Amino acid sequence: MTGADPTVVSTTPSGTEILFELGVEPAAVSHACDWPPRAAELPSVDRSRVDADRSEQRDRQAAGDVYDVDVGLLRELAPDLIVTQSVCGVCAVDEQLVETHLDALPTTPKVLALSAADLAGVAECIREVGAAVGRPDRAEALVDRLETEVGRTDDRTATVTHRPSVVVLEWMDPLHVATNWVPELVSAAGGRYPLGEAGQRSREVAWETVRTVDPEILVAAPCSSGPEWTRQRRDELRSRPGWEDLRAVETGRVYPLDGRLLSRWTPRLGGVTERLAGLVHPDLVDGDPEVRPLADGRR
């Protein structure tokens, strides 16, 4: 890689967010990159084949080839660095798909495949991108900011006498429970996470498992989807047997949360921790007024 300003392409929203935080604007991004707003204005190197409306239909479509890559654009840009991911080829173009097109390029770019399973891994991703673009000091400052924000929320909830049980759903049909760094965020927010531990991969769960746990707080945060998308499909949860009997439903503590925030390994996770604390302990931390319950509650 030569020159002070390498040409960078990002095929993952997480990588794009980190690059912008480091002060590096990619030459092109994935179609799913939407933060910061400037990212949505950049050329897209891929097109998603998933176009279904319902969660279950989208899940079925995602089992096949999900993306078409604009090889012509990659050839034209001749990137020095491609920031991609190795953890999941469903929510964004992954390392394997990128490497199938490298022979068609006039350059041999460095491919940086990001993967994180907990907050320590998130910090490492930030450092890796910082090193790849020659901005390690700025990357370390971002890591410090993330850790400070999570720690500040953790300090505010450290003395709570009751830690409500929390379940976060990463997909609604079939049900997937979010894990990775989510149990750490919930713990810092003053809650308990009975369906997973930090570092575990998110996994499919049976509805009966959720009913057995009977969480005090239920958060629906479908991967790569905004809260309004979730709200429009809330019947995918409300139609399930025993829904009305869940404690979270009875008390009106079912919330849609932006899955684009919770599922990406970026410095914004520090702010997400505070949002969660506002849901778990509204007496200690002010909640986000835009996060309206999915269930009104009966008591």
Query: Tens digits of per-residue pLDDT, 61-100?
Result: 444 456 678 888 988 999 999 998 876 544 545 455 556 6
Q: Would 49 be classed as within a structural domain? A: yes
In angstroms, the CA 2 to CA 17 distance is 23
98 close to 108: Cβ distance less than 8 angstroms: no
CATH of the domain at 85: 3.40.50.1980
Query: Tens digits of per-residue pLDDT, 149-204?
Result: 999 999 999 999 999 999 999 999 999 999 999 999 999 999 999 999 999 999 99
**181 and 86 both lie in a single domain:** no
256 three-state secondary structure: strand
Query: Tens digits of per-residue pLDDT, 6-53?
Result: 899 999 999 999 999 999 999 999 988 999 999 999 999 987 654 445
Q: Would 294 be classed as within a structural domain? A: no
What is the average pLDDT value for the chain, to the nearest integer? Answer: 87
58 close to 175: Cβ distance less than 8 angstroms: no
Q: Would 298 be classed as within a structural domain? A: no
Q: Would 130 be classed as within a structural domain? A: no
**Structure tokens of 6?**
């390498």
Among residues 48, 82, 115, which one ends one of the domains? 115
pLDDT value of position 170:
94
**111 and 172 both lie in a single domain:** no
The reported pTM is: 0.87
Residue 70: CB atoms within 10 Å: 18
Average of per-residue pLDDT across 218-244: 92
Q: Would 178 be classed as within a structural domain? A: yes
pLDDT value of position 5:
75
Among residues 60, 85, 115, which one ends one of the domains? 115
In angstroms, the CA 43 to CA 26 distance is 9
**Structure tokens of 68?**
């078409």
Which DSSP state fits 29? Answer: B
Q: Would 62 be classed as within a structural domain? A: yes
Q: Would 242 be classed as within a structural domain? A: yes
282 three-state secondary structure: coil
Average of per-residue pLDDT across 256-262: 92
Band (287; pLDDT cuts 50, 70, 90): confident
Q: Decide if pLDDT at 214 tops 80.
A: yes
Residue 293: CB atoms within 10 Å: 16
- Tally of structural domains, the chain: 2
**Structure tokens of 82?**
């491609």
Query: Tens digits of per-residue pLDDT, 100-158?
Result: 656 667 778 888 999 899 999 999 999 999 999 999 999 999 999 999 999 999 999 99
**187 and 259 both lie in a single domain:** yes
In angstroms, the CA 105 to CA 48 distance is 22
Q: Would 261 be classed as within a structural domain? A: yes
Domain range holding 81? 8-115
pLDDT value of position 109:
86
- Of the candidates 201, 116, 205, the one whose C-alpha atom is nearest the C-alpha of residue 169 is 205
pLDDT value of position 281:
96
